[in-house]
A and B are shown apart, each in its own frame.
Chain A
């Protein structure tokens, strides 16, 4: 069966450290993988998109890697800040390229 798995346990890190979140998938062959941020009581907000032929993508303090052999994406936040605390969702473009399927998300807490 198709699955998108993210760490269900919350990730707690200290301010200034690098946070690394994992997204693993099975039985998908996505052309694109995306990361979204969701704050309590709000809708998800798009952060980054990476294509299957890209190994790495950066945007400011964010970095995403995409390994189609391992079927895994890693999401890094460097120099983390308390304002980075949120739930982070990965999403694959499926269904002929028009449907997003989301992982269940990982909650990140950055402590002072």
Chain B
């Protein structure tokens, strides 16, 4: 069984550019989570969906961040405009219930 698939694995872009991160959850999982991991703050929940509906976006740092889940097999996290402090590893996770969560291998984002 394929796990959670994230793309791209690495992204380097210049400040001010739009960044789109993609996630394909495990089939049949009703929950999808977006996290950000940095050395300073660890792993932080940004937003989660249940049955494609955003339930809690209280972790989204600013209006520059947005997430969508148009169907059960695809989600995007968008940053527009990007800033250097957005540099981090972004993880997507899915689960059949709230837990346990299955993580993808992340997108390492560098904003220059």
A contacts with B, residue count (CB < 8 A): 21
Contact call A43/B55, Cβ cutoff below 8 A: no
Chain A residue contacts of B42, Cβ below 8 A: 102-105
B43 is contacted by which of A41, A89, A93 (Cβ under 8 Å)? A89
Chain A residue contacts of B50, Cβ below 8 A: 98
| 34-76 of chain A: CB within 8 A of chain B | 34, 41-46, 49
> How many residue-residue contacts, CB under 8 A, span A and B?
53
Interface of B is mostly: strand
A46 is contacted by which of B44, B56, B101, B104 (Cβ under 8 Å)? B101
Contact call B106/A99, Cβ cutoff below 8 A: no
Known interface pairs A43-B93, A97-B98, A100-B33; 16 further A-B residue pairs with C-beta atoms within 8 A, sorted by A's residue number:
A32-B99, A41-B105, A41-B106, A43-B4, A43-B91, A43-B106, A44-B43, A45-B103, A46-B99, A46-B100, A98-B56, A99-B98, A100-B45, A100-B98, A102-B42, A105-B42
Residues of B near any A CB (own CB < 8 A): 4, 31, 33, 42-45, 48, 50, 55-56, 91, 93, 98-106
